[in-house]
């Protein structure tokens, strides 16, 4: 991308950023003062220099640091005013800033750095829309990336939708559902499916009741991501769904029978469950490994006693139990009369409590805030 900042400014900024990441407090304090001085004098020039540096720096560390710093500075109110620096940017500077960030989103080769780019972009998009300035170019680029061939691009696009759901709230529901469902069923990448799940949760959470009724069909592909996951990914997916279960429990009402065929087996695995859609042996130890107390500082807690496979299963069981409890607390009347649901929760809690070793009880009670 063509530079828009004079070379001398770029060179000065490079030196300032290099000093900011040093361990020497005196040098770092001097660099922080230099940043504040430049922002007081020419904020648009140095914010643009940061954005340009985020696309051109030689190292991942510096590109990532530039994006984080840009995100913090853009919305910081100046000492002598109430408005953030963003509000002082002329239209041309803001347009250039957006172009740099869109370039970073599309072309950044490092996945961790691109995630920092997504964070900065979604903050900028949300702030811009709160000021009545839609970012149509981001909307169009994210949609194109979500349907492209590069899985890293697809993941980044769904992360954008998750962080800024207003980008898709006013679009035709059919178009949004098609894009989200495609991500939820991505055949190549679990990361893409999880990003699409996060975007779907954000979309449903931000939808009004009337709009939710039009997009209820999205729940099927969302929940259908679960049975085919390796157990190592199940806790993350369940934890992503849990806030939606707490805030909008009725979205799950028609899916209770299907959830009952899946979740209790995660919470109360039998000694020899046989093959399942997720793993050949869900409980490789052949017995229960549900452990509530956290390990103590010396690693003597109950969780440290199991094998890595046991600990993985433990995380699955806790995530499944938390999901079921959250849904039950949010809408007790929906599940109260469903005996298998209540029985699974009660047995899971009792079994977990029964597995607390006596010597770890004090640690567990202290950790239970």
Instruction: State the DSSP string of 270-324.
Output: -SS----SS-S-SSTTSS-----SPP-TTS-SGGGSS-HHHHHHHHHHHHHHHHH
The conformation of residue 77, written as its DSSP 8-state character, comes to P
Q: What percentage of the chain carries pLDDT values higher than 90?
A: 49
Residues whose CB falls within 8 Å of the CB of residue 366, separated by 6 or more in sequence, listed in order? none
CA 47 to CA 231: how far, in whole Å?
43
pLDDT of 223 > 90? The answer is yes
Helix 111-130, helix 91-107: angle, nearest 10: 150
- Polymer length in residues for the chain: 369
Helix 111-130, helix 151-163: angle, nearest 10: 30
pLDDT of 296 > 70? The answer is no
CA 156 to CA 240: how far, in whole Å?
17
CA 355 to CA 291: how far, in whole Å?
6
In terms of average pLDDT, the best of 70-74, 75-79, 193-197, 312-316 is 193-197
In terms of average pLDDT, the best of 59-63, 144-148, 281-285 is 144-148
Residue spans of beta strands (DSSP E) within the chain: none
What pLDDT was estimated at residue 339? 87
| Confidence at 273, pLDDT banded by 50, 70, 90 | very low
What pLDDT was estimated at residue 279? 45
Rounded to an integer, the average pLDDT of 96-107 is 95
CA 140 to CA 74: how far, in whole Å?
23
How far is CA 279 from each of CA 36, 75, 275, 313, rounded to the nearest angstrom?
A: 55, 46, 6, 11
Please give the structure tokens belonging to residue 176: 């949004």
What pLDDT was estimated at residue 270? 54
**Claim: this prediction has a pTM higher than 0.75:** yes
pLDDT-wise least confident of 7-16, 87-96, 276-285: 276-285
Q: What is the pLDDT of residues 124-179, one digit of tens each?
A: 999 999 989 999 999 999 999 999 999 999 999 999 999 999 999 988 999 999 99
């Amino acid at each position: 991308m063509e530079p828009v900042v004079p070379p001398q400014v770029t060179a000065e900024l490079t030196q300032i950023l290099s000093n900011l990441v040093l361990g020497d407090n005196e040098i770092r304090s001097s660099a922080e003062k230099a940043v504040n001085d430049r922002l007081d004098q020419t904020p648009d020039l140095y914010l643009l220099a940061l954005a340009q540096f985020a696309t051109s720096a030689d190292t991942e560390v510096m590109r990532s640091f530039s994006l984080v710093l840009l995100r913090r500075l853009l919305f910081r109110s100046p000492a002598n005013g109430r408005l953030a620096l963003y509000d002082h940017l002329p239209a041309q500077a803001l347009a250039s800033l957006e172009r740099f960030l869109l370039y970073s989103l599309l072309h950044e080769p490092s996945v961790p750095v691109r995630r920092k780019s997504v964070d900065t972009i979604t903050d900028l998009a949300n702030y811009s829309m709160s000021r009545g300035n839609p970012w149509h170019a981001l909307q169009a680029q994210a949609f194109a990336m979500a349907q492209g061939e590069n899985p890293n691009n697809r993941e980044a696009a769904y992360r954008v939708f998750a962080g800024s759901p207003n980008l898709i709230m006013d679009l035709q529901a059919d178009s949004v559902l098609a894009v989200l469902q495609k991500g939820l069923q991505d055949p190549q990448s679990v990361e893409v499916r999880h990003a699409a799940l996060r975007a779907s949760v954000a979309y449903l959470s931000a939808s009004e009741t009337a709009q939710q009724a039009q997009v209820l069909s999205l729940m099927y592909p969302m929940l259908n991501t679960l049975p085919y996951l390796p157990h190592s990914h199940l806790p993350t997916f369940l934890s992503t769904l849990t806030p939606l279960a707490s805030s909008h429990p009725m979205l799950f009402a028609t899916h209770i029978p299907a959830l009952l065929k899946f979740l209790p087996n995660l919470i109360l695995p039998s000694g020899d469950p046989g093959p399942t859609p997720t793993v050949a042996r869900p409980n490789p130890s052949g017995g229960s490994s549900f452990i509530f107390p956290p390990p103590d500082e010396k690693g003597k807690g109950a969780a440290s006693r199991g094998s890595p496979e046991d600990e993985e299963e433990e995380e699955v069981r806790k995530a499944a139990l938390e999901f079921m409890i959250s849904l039950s607390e949010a809408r007790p009347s929906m599940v109260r009369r469903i005996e298998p649901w209540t029985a699974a929760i009660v047995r899971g809690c009792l079994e977990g409590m029964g597995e607390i070793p006596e010597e770890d009880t004090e640690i567990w009670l202290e950790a239970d805030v």
